[in-house]
Amino acid sequence: MTTMTQEINEYIEKFKANKPKEVQVKMQHAIEELEASNEGKGLRTGEQAPNFNLPNAAGETVELYEQLKKGPVVLTFYRGNWCPYCNMELRAYQQIIGEIHDQGAELIAISPQTPDQSMSIQEKHDLEYLVVSDEGNNVANQFNLVYQLPEYLVELYKAIGLDVAKHNGDDTWTLPVSATYIIQTDGTIAYEYTKSDYKDRVEPSDVLQELKKIN
């Protein structure tokens, strides 16, 4: 079975072969600027996860601490259904969701997209876990994950027909850094993986192994 990491690496090679050099340079520069900034560093292991109430794709409210009463939660922040790396990650989690549930845990995927966009990605990949909308990035901000897209990247995205503002229902052009947490039933973060480079993601099977360690 192809791992998410293999799939991402294959996509990156095709991207390098097919996209104009100028586009690649601007995208890489934005990543390096973010890495050098203080934005999007995320909460750390041992810290308390803030509670949230967010709508899922069906419009029902999902409360983190209500879920934690049932067992640990794997919480993954993704940028949106327009992001190919996010789609690969969400599909990879779907492949092991049965094993996550076997650990008594739930998976919540969170993005700043509108509920309609969340519904779209849930149906597209037949996701059997919770997909919630954090419009305005309020929760992502509490997790210290939000960053502002630089103007040159906004212009680039617009030029290639990628309208993040439409997906998110606002024109702030802010996004969460890709981050994954395992949250214990008392709300403590037991594991975190936070990277400024949206191509760098923890393999879902590795998250499952970490989940087994804390259970």
Over residues 34-81, the pLDDT tens digits come to 999 999 999 999 999 999 999 998 889 999 999 999 999 999 999 999
C-alpha–C-alpha distance, residues 194 and 65, integer Å: 22
pLDDT band at 8 (very low <50, low <70, confident <90, very high): very high
CATH number, domain of 13, equals: 3.40.30.10
**What is this structure's pTM?**
0.95
Asked whether the beta carbons of 188 and 65 are under 8 A apart, the reply is no
What is the reported pLDDT for 58?
84
What is the reported pLDDT for 38?
93
* pLDDT(1) > 70: no
Distances (CA, A) of 99 to 93, 151, 153: 10, 42, 38
How many structural domains comprise the chain? 1
What is the reported pLDDT for 185?
97
Nearest in space to 210 (alpha carbons), one of 176, 178, 184: 184
Tokens standing for 123? 């149906």
Which residues form the domain of 34?
Answer: 4-214
What is the reported pLDDT for 26?
94
List pLDDT tens digits, range 110-156. 999 998 888 888 988 899 999 999 999 999 999 999 999 999 999 99
pLDDT band at 189 (very low <50, low <70, confident <90, very high): very high
